[in-house]
Amino acid sequence: MRDPKELQIVRDLTVARRVPAAGFFAACAIAATAALLLAVWIVDFIPTNDGPQNLYTSYVSLHFDEGPTRYATFYRPGSPVTAVAFSFVYSLFDAFLPWQRAMQATVSVGVLAWAWSFMLLVLAIEPRRWAVGLLGFPSALSWGFYMGFFNYAAAVAVGFFALAFAIAYAPQRPLHRVGLGALVLLGATFHVMVAGLTGLGLVLLVLFRVKGWRQKLRELGLLALAGLPALVVIAVALGATQSLQHYPGYAEASVVLLPLAERLAHFGRCFVGGPWWRAWPPVLCALAAWAVCARGRFTKMSAAERSLLALGALAAAAGLLVPLHTSVWQFFSPRFLPIAVLAAAAVLPVERLAAGRLRHVAAAVGIAYALCAIGWSVLYHLDLARRSRDPLAGLTEPIRRSGPRLPIVLDPLVGLPRDPARAPMAYTEPLRNLGQLYAVQQGGVVPYTFTGSPQVHALTSQPRPFPPVPSRRYWKAFAQPERSSDAERRAIVALLASYGARYDDVVFWGSPADADRLVARGYVADFRRGGLLVARFQGCPAKLVVRGAAPARGPLVAEYGWYPVLEPFWSGPVDVRPDQPTQIELPHAPCGDVWVRVAPSSGAGSCLDADSDGLLHARVGRATGIIVCELGQSP
């Protein structure tokens, strides 16, 4: 049975009859839509955390057998059952647009879907409440957008569409149930967590809407039947996600539960985000809806309003109680916040303002907030474009690659504050995945990709496809120089440079001084601007000459490293002959300081001029590539 109030709303759903000043509504909606599109298209590219990840895997999947890059050497195509929203929409534009324009078009579809799905949800509850629906427009450019959670955002939009459909049309007919099941299934293929929350909202709607437990159980059973395909997708995806705990790259993840004050602050920082005046109004609308409920209006609300309040409360509780990070899912708790805030805000009864003039004021405040919040995003995008001008400059160069490339990004924040309380968008690292952009534009493949499970990811890695891959955590020593010494940072640059020597090239972004250090170690620049360096390793070819009699303690092993890094870069056996010197070509030898150690497999170093640790130090140049080790007892 339908709630009588909802039946009346459905009868009078025509906006022209139910919404006062329908022309004002249309003008506001068009203005907010135009502002969203302006924010997306005002710059060529909006740097986001995971945005380049989505772009890279989609591009490689679509061009797997094309061009000079040997994708099959590094990846196998996956068969993901979820997280396919970005890939699907991007594929529609990739055939006739360059990747930057195809990505802008894809992002435009995503933000408009979010904004209008929430507006339709509000209109389905009460068309005169459309001013609240304007919250969907600035929140389309929220914290999750700048984190690059595009599949998640698409699932939220589908979830709002599903809830709006279920509210406006009671799924009593088979066609309604099929349509609702299809929407939930679509949401599950976009993001399983959001699909679970959508299903929870539909269950609550049945519980509040249907009278009598027998009828409730019947409707719940039919709802479960309609949602069975989505449940299968959720089960498969969750099983695959759990298996990622053993995947390299997830081993560094740890469970993080923040203090209560930080978790409360996330309702502003990790939903809409930005300055306080942008971040907190939607939360205040949600709190105002709860204040109305506390004044005894809960029983007078429609079933749709009560179900959304309950859904918002459960999502808010999850956002407060679950960890910020889990072992396989980073930024887990903030993903509950959009549902927590917007589901409650949709219940705010602004249409009950006594005077019609006050309702117009509410609408004016709503559109003013939406335009100002989106305007902040426009300015933020222009600032990001200015900060990213140098690191993105190499994309226009006619460089072509086909093999592995190593991104070394020591300034992913492009000068923005690292402190979540001071950053424009908390936790965001706009250039974290800079290397993926260069691989899409110029070819080649990069590590640091989502390739762990064929059920979750569009690509899975071939066994050991890349040379050794360094951790990306090193950049924090450069983000907080007061917590690290200059010597430590020099050693980190040398270590990363040694990793890059095994790759076709490196895409380096950091300080100009650190880029100079790579050049000094033997990198040849194909392009450089400021702290950006796209370079191939050439090095200074060097030979190790071992002379003298081998000690009697067993076979000798030679190893060398890039000083000041004390971790061996290479090691190999030494076959010493007493009648002639032994020469060993040192692979990927750098210019500058190196160390060599020749010793029995267990024992002290054997080079006469070695230091107390058995290390023989040398400086290699273009014309001085001979390192001589005279065998004897170390001092």
pLDDT tier at 238, thresholds 50, 70, 90: confident
Please check whether residues 521 and 610 belong to one and the same domain: no
Sign of CA dihedral 135, 137, 140, 146: negative
* Confidence at 470, pLDDT banded by 50, 70, 90: very high
- pLDDT at residue 18 above 50? no
Q: Give the pLDDT band of residue 303 (cuts 50, 70, 90).
A: very high
Quick one: 492 and 598 in the same domain?
no
pLDDT digit string (tens) for 540-571? 999 999 988 776 666 889 999 999 999 999 99
Out of 360, 383, 406, a domain closes at 383
In a domain, 326, yes or no: no
pLDDT of residue 362: 84
Burial of 460 (0-12, 13-18, 19+ CB in 10 A): buried
- Alpha-helical runs (H) found in 484-537: 486-500, 512-520
Task: Measure the CA–CA gap between 178 and 205, rounded to whole angstroms.
Answer: 17
pLDDT at 1: 46
Last residue of a domain, one of 362, 383, 404: 383
> Domain residues for 502?
478-538
Mean pLDDT of the chain: 90
Whether residue 600 is preceded by a cis peptide bond, meaning omega within 30 degrees of 0, is: no
Is residue 259 a part of any domain in this protein? no
Is 0.95 surpassed by the pTM of this model? no
pLDDT at 356: 61
Range 72-92 average pLDDT? 94
Burial 256-281 (b: 16+ CB within 10 A, else e): eebeeeebebbbbbbbbbbeeebbbb
Say how far apart CA 71 and CA 402 lie, in whole Å: 9
Same domain, 375 and 248: yes
What pLDDT is recorded for position 16? Answer: 39
Same domain membership, residue 572 and residue 529: no
Question: What confidence score (pLDDT) does residue 297 get?
Answer: 75
- Is residue 533 domain-shared with residue 560, that is, in the same domain? no
Query: 156-170, 188-202, 378-392, 569-583: lowest mean pLDDT where?
Result: 569-583
Query: Does 558 lie in the same domain as 484?
Result: no
**Percent of the chain whose predicted confidence (pLDDT) is above 90:** 72
pLDDT of residue 600: 83
| Residue 300 pLDDT grade (very low, low, confident, very high; cuts 50, 70, 90) | confident
Has residue 3 got a pLDDT over 60? no
Whether the pLDDT of residue 17 is over 50: the answer is: no
Long-range contacts of 531-535 (CB under 8 A, 24+ apart): 531/390, 531/391, 531/411, 532/390, 532/391, 532/393, 532/394, 532/508, 533/506, 533/507, 533/508, 533/509, 534/394, 534/397, 534/399, 534/438, 534/505, 534/506, 534/507, 534/508, 535/505, 535/506, 535/508
The pLDDT, as a whole number, for residue 371 is: 97
Stretch 403-429: mean pLDDT, rounded?
95
Residues 565 and 509 in one domain: no
Instruction: Please say whether the beta carbons of 163 and 201 come within 8 A.
Output: yes
Confidence label for 572 from pLDDT (cuts 50, 70 and 90): very high
Give the pLDDT confidence score for residue 75 in this predicted structure: 94
> What angle separates helix 51-62 from helix 85-94, to the nearest 10 degrees?
60
Query: Could you tell me if residue 391 is inside a domain?
Result: no
Specify the range with the lowest mean pLDDT, choosing from 155-169, 345-359, 473-487.
345-359
Please check whether residue 566 lies inside any domain of the structure: yes
Do 522 and 553 reside in the same domain of the chain?
no
Number of domains within the chain: 3
Mean local confidence (pLDDT), 501-516: 96
**pLDDT tier at 242, thresholds 50, 70, 90:** low
Question: What pLDDT score was predicted for residue 216?
Answer: 92
Per-residue pLDDT at 622: 79
Residue 603 has pLDDT above 70, yes or no: no
390 occurs within a structural domain: no
Which of 321, 349, 383 is the last residue in one of the domains?
A: 383
Residues 517 and 483 in one domain: yes
Q: Tell me the average pLDDT across 167-173.
A: 79
User: Three-class SS of residue 169?
Assistant: coil
Position 45 in a domain: yes
Share of the chain above pLDDT 70, in %: 92
Residue 444 lies in a domain: no
CA distances from 395 to 59, 262, 398, 526, 533 (A): 16, 39, 8, 12, 12
pLDDT digits (tens, 9 = 90+) for 446-459: 999 988 888 888 99
Residue 362 domain-assigned? Answer: no
- The verdict on 376 and 516 lying in the same domain is no
Q: What is the pLDDT of residues 42-76, one digit of tens each?
A: 999 999 999 999 999 999 999 999 888 889 999 99
Residues 531 and 546 in one domain: no
- Domain identity same for 378 and 501: no
Torsion angle, alpha carbons of 264, 51, 456, 503, to 10:
-120
User: What is the CATH classification number for the domain harbouring 557?
Assistant: 2.60.40
Listed range (133-147, 310-324, 442-456, 545-559) with the worst mean pLDDT: 545-559
Q: Work out the average pLDDT over 357-383.
A: 92
Q: Is the pLDDT assigned to residue 282 strictly greater than 50?
A: yes
